Every structure is written in C-alpha cells, then in structure tokens.
Amino acid sequence: MATPGKPSKKDMKRPIQAKTSFTSPFIPQWSPLPQEDMHFILKTLKEKLISTGLEKKEVKVFRPWRKKKDQTPSNATSEPVPEVSQDKQVHKSSLKHGWTDVAARKQLAIGINEVTKALERNELKLVLVCKSVKPKHMTSHLVALSATRGVPACQVPRLSQSVSEPLGLKSVLALGFRQCASKDDELFTDTVDAITPRVPSLCVAWLQGAAAGVTPELPVDLEEEDEEMRGKKRKLESESEVTESASSCTLQPLKVKKIVANPAKKRKTKPVK
C-alpha cells in the first residue's frame, strides 16, 4: 500500500503529457455606435421589414391523443369530437407555413451561424449584430471576418427586440444583407445605402489597411469544352482572389516578451551505469 503523501508506482511510471498553447494578446472589440445612429438604424430596419411584409408564420395544428386499440370509446363522447377536430385541421391546413416572401428571405442572413457562413463565402455587404448576446465570444469572431472581407459591420443595441417582432421570430442575434446577381432584384439596397455611412469602422489590431466598405468582385468563370481546363482555371482564379484579398490587409509581427516554462513537465533522467 502506498502512503497518501507519496505517489504510487503506477503514477510514477505514467508519462506526464505537457501541452503548449499560445494565447492571443489582441482581443477583438466592436467599435462603439452613437445613440443617434442606433435609433436611425433600428427605425429604418423596422420600417423596411414592415413595408416588405416579410414574416415567418407558424400554425400550430391540433393533434389529438392516440387511443389504444383495445379501448372502445363510448358513443356519446366519440361522435361529436372527430367532427370538430376535422374542421380545425381543414381550416389550419389551408393556412400557409413558413415565410411570406421567399425571395426577400434569401437576401437576408439571419442568425450567427448563417451570417458566419455567408461572410466566409463573401456573400454579404452589411452585418449587424445584437449587443445583448451572451456570452460575448459568440460574436467576437465576426469582427475579424468582416474586417478581412471588407464588409461594414457594427454592434447595435436592441436589435433583437426591434427586428424579431416584424419577422415573427423569438430573437435575432445577427442580421446580414446578401449580394444579389442583379441589382434590380435587390429589395434592401436603399436600407443598406442609408445604414452603411453610419456604421463605424472596425479597428483590428493585427491587421493594417483593412478598410471596411469595399467588397471584392468575383470574376466570371470562362466556359470551355474540356473539364480539366475548367478545373485548372478555377484554381488559378481562386488563388488570385486570395492574393488580392491578402494584399489589402497585412499582418503585424507578434513580439514575444517572455517565455515561461511548463513547471508540470518532467523529463526522465537516464540511469547512470
């Protein structure tokens, strides 16, 4: 039996794994938004959503409890109930589920996950994030993403309260406006043009020259007969896009002041013969 003060033989034989990790000295933060601009953004968003009539409708269908096969209901209770339930089901099935305007919904990115995916694909031209998101690190990655993609973004207080009601949702933590192929089909161009000059610029510490407000235009793929040539040209175009976006913002060098050794790391000494 090993004493409680000393480690056992099994613990001595087990190798202690040492993991090294780096913590970033830069903390991404949203630029403060003036109160006048906040009221203007919320007002324009609410008026536009009400005018377009975009809303998600969810109709709750009455589902009666399933009865066991062995039990036979009485004649007095079984006859009037199915007639009322059938009328309710027919009336509610006539109502439409989902969004009222599908084309307008495709031009918006609603939610943190949808906004993140659209930013990674360079599909957005404006991003608005609710300030009441908890924990805060849920939306901190959007600062660097929008800065590297050149998309104007800001944190708006009371965004979820004002936007969720006209949309028919419980909460809207992030809202993004997509780019359309043709400008005639875009419904939110006037709102984006009105809100963009009031959005403060993002200050990212490790990026230089990341100007928000200019989005890179994607080149048109050339049509050819051979599939191999098409794949090569697409690869070359994607590489040129990456180099152009990287040239717009340069990384700053990270200076390490002090390196602290891991005290838990133990090295086995070779036995002396």
For the stretch 162-220, pLDDT in tens is: 999 999 999 999 999 998 877 777 889 999 999 999 999 988 877 765 444 444 444 43
- Positive or negative CA dihedral for 206, 208, 210, 211? positive
Which pLDDT belongs to residue 218?
41
Q: Amino acid identity of 217?
A: E
Query: Does 81 score more than 90 pLDDT?
Result: no
**Domains, the chain, with CATH or none:** 28-53+100-202 (3.30.1330.30)
**E strands within the chain?**
56-57, 98-99, 108-110, 124-130, 153-156, 174-178, 207-208, 250-251
Confidence at 57, pLDDT banded by 50, 70, 90 = confident
Which pLDDT belongs to residue 242?
47
Which pLDDT belongs to residue 266?
62
Classify strands 108-110 and 56-57 as parallel, antiparallel or unpaired.
unpaired
For the stretch 88-115, pLDDT in tens is: 444 444 446 688 888 899 999 999 999 9
- Which of 204, 187, 100, 72 has the alpha carbon at shortest distance from 146? 204
Indicate yes or no: pTM above 0.85. no
- Which of 156, 138, 153 has the alpha carbon at shortest distance from 210? 153
Answer yes or no: are the C-beta atoms of 212 and 150 closer than 8 Å. yes
Query: Does 230 score more than 90 pLDDT?
Result: no
For the stretch 236-269, pLDDT in tens is: 565 555 445 444 556 666 666 666 666 666 666 6
Nearest 10 degrees: Cα torsion 31, 36, 42, 48: -120
Query: Does 10 score more than 90 pLDDT?
Result: no
Q: Which of 63-72, 86-95, 142-151, 186-195 has the lowest mean pLDDT?
A: 86-95
Q: Which residues contact 28 (CB under 8 A, 6 or more apart)?
A: 140, 141, 143, 144, 204
Confidence at 120, pLDDT banded by 50, 70, 90 = very high
What mean pLDDT, rounded, does the chain reach? 74
- Which of 70, 107, 94 has the alpha carbon at shortest distance from 186? 107
